[in-house]
């Protein structure tokens, strides 16, 4: 079985792209739902409004998917931290990301934390620290279908497209730090 990690800072488009992947017939695992269903949510970090997740237990819980011949795409900002075959990091221009997060009701502190992570390429860097092939797609202006077209090309063997390092938000650093 092939596990593809679809990851990125919250608000970059993972859920929307995952919906389009499902619509096209791909098997996409909603990691948040999986964590709840398998009782893998740890203690709540009240200050950050998140739950701690034991990544080793999460990785082990994916065995049921590893025992198939299917391609499974994991939809989560945590998915790049599990054993997978490829990582696709979705990116979004910080100013656009901030507006997306505000529209979801994120506090200004949470907006800033996530936008700073995007500016600093945190998830991309974490992904690059693995020995797993990484692809990077800018989802700022394109449609979810555009992103899925790239992902499908990658799934079909076009491993040279969407190389990491093609997105650079460093010009927006002063605005967010």
CA distance 155 to 153: 5
Task: Choose between 64 and 150: higher pLDDT.
Answer: 150
| pLDDT band of 177, cuts 50, 70, 90 | confident
Query: Beta-strand (E) ranges in the chain?
Result: 2-8, 27-30, 41-45, 50-53, 71-75, 86-91, 134-138
Joined together, the tokens standing for residue 44 give: 């709540």
pLDDT of amino acid 63: 84
User: Is residue 49 over pLDDT 70?
Assistant: no
Phi then psi for residue 42, to 5 deg, are -85, -155
Pairing mode, if any, of strands 41-45 and 86-91?
unpaired
For residue 74, the SS3 value is: strand
What is the number of other CB atoms lying within 10 angstroms of the CB of residue 67? Answer: 9
pTM: 0.92
CA distance 120 to 152: 27
| pLDDT band of 43, cuts 50, 70, 90 | confident
What is the number of other CB atoms lying within 10 angstroms of the CB of residue 133? Answer: 15
Cα distances (Å, whole numbers) of residue 83 to 18, 57, 104, 127, 150: 19, 12, 30, 11, 22
User: Is residue 105 over pLDDT 70?
Assistant: yes
Q: What is the average pLDDT across 128-155? A: 96
Q: Which of 46-50, 64-68, 89-93, 111-115 has the lowest mean pLDDT?
A: 46-50
Report percent pLDDT > 90 for the chain: 72
């Amino acid at each position: 079985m092939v596990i593809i990690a679809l990851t990125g800072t919250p608000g970059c488009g993972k859920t929307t792209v995952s919906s389009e992947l499902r619509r096209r017939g791909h098997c996409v695992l909603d990691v948040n739902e999986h964590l709840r269903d398998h009782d893998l949510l740890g203690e709540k970090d009240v200050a950050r409004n998140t739950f701690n997740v034991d990544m080793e237990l999460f990785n082990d819980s994916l065995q049921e998917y590893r025992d198939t011949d299917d391609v499974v795409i994991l939809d989560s900002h945590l998915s790049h931290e599990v054993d997978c075959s490829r990582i696709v990091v979705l990116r979004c221009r910080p100013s656009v990301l901030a507006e997306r997060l505000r529209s979801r009701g994120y506090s200004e502190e949470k907006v800033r934390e996530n936008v700073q992570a995007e500016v600093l390429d945190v998830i991309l860097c974490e992904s690059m620290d693995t020995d797993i092939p990484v692809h990077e797609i800018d989802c700022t202006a394109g449609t979810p279908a555009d992103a899925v077209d790239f992902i499908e090309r990658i799934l079909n063997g076009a491993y040279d497209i969407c190389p990491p390092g093609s997105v650079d938000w460093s010009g927006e650093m002063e605005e967010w730090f």
